[in-house]
Structure 1
């Protein structure tokens, strides 16, 4: 109660923190469902199911890829070349895609090329990134959405429950990217569709 205050003051005091909490939730969702996290989890789960003997090698390769990419991202951000660590402007993305494609090709080779049980999945991820790079001329696809959608579809063949959980998280992640103003809804939807399309390819024999 605040009988001496102006009408509505209590309501304002109660609801004022909500936007801050929403922004914090959006940020944490974007961190926890970052492509680094999602694709690392997918790689380890796939190795566990398809190539248990190569699990340590997979973990080592993925850790190296994430470390190189993250170091590059931080350098671009701190040097002022990027506005955010997400490469939020479309013109910032080509160099990121180029680096990712080089790393995916190196990963494919290091894992044993066509002899590796993981080869097909790695190649499909590379194709997905190459497609996003080409489409970047017209639209800045959400790699967060593409990665989660791809992982969700791919996991339905390996661990159905995990796959369904990942797909059910897509609306929350979409809200997060929109709330943080990192993407438009068209970019979020296009990213999800790209991930689903290439995820389906992992299900083909």
Structure 2
């Protein structure tokens, strides 16, 4: 029973799912339709969808052992791919003069991936946990209560990753530290604290 619960939590908290939902809800709730469509296309269509297709294809071809890319050595190419896409997206956001909050959110997401990539040479950190915590910090300026709930939910997510033997406790804590540090830096930079 614990394995089923852990698998469900882990699947529902997959960063490709949670970040997509966040982007779509926020964009279409707070921006005019054309801008929401443009930003959603940039972030979901040009980062999330290609990353999903790439992981699926490489898993199916046997290049990755699984969709979550749990082998530390295999993760380097995942990080480099995502970093490259986010560099391009950040350039587009900057040169199309998008809001400072949107640009900084994407820029700090890029920093999170770069730090995770560098840390991956030493330890495989939990992306589920780091990105959930970062997402909580993105939500807090919009709705503090929901942001805190998402932050607290990172605990069960971390438990699920350990329960499924996808990460060790040390890897989960490392992901938590990365997500919390980058999220806090973003909030401070944007002047919300």
TM (norm. structure 1) is 0.83
What displacement does 1:30 show?
1.0
Is 1:181 aligned to 2:156, yes or no?
Answer: no
Q: 2:85 aligns with which of 86, 97, 103?
A: 103
Residue 38 of structure 2 is matched in structure 1 by: 57
Question: 2: distance between equivalents of 1:52 and 1:162?
Answer: 23
Q: Distance in 2 between matches of 1:137 and 1:50?
A: 39
Q: Rg larger in 1 or in 2?
A: 1
User: Conserved in 1, the CA contact under 8 Å of 2:27 and 2:36?
Assistant: yes
Mapped pair 1:33 → 2:13: yes
2:120 corresponds in structure 1 to 136
Per-residue CA deviations over 1:163-186 (Å, capped at 9, x if unaligned) read 011012111101110111110000
1:120-145 per-position Cα deviation (integer Å, ceiling 9, x unaligned): 11011001100110111101010000
Per-residue deviation, 1:106: 2.1
Q: Is the 8 A contact 2:138 2:147 kept in 1?
A: yes
* Root-mean-square deviation (Å): 1.8
Any idea what SS the aligned residue of 1:111 has?
A: helix
Correspondent of 1:91 among 69, 73, 76: 73
Gap runs ≥5 in structure 2: none
Residue number in structure 2 paired with 1:9: none
1:159 aligns with: 143
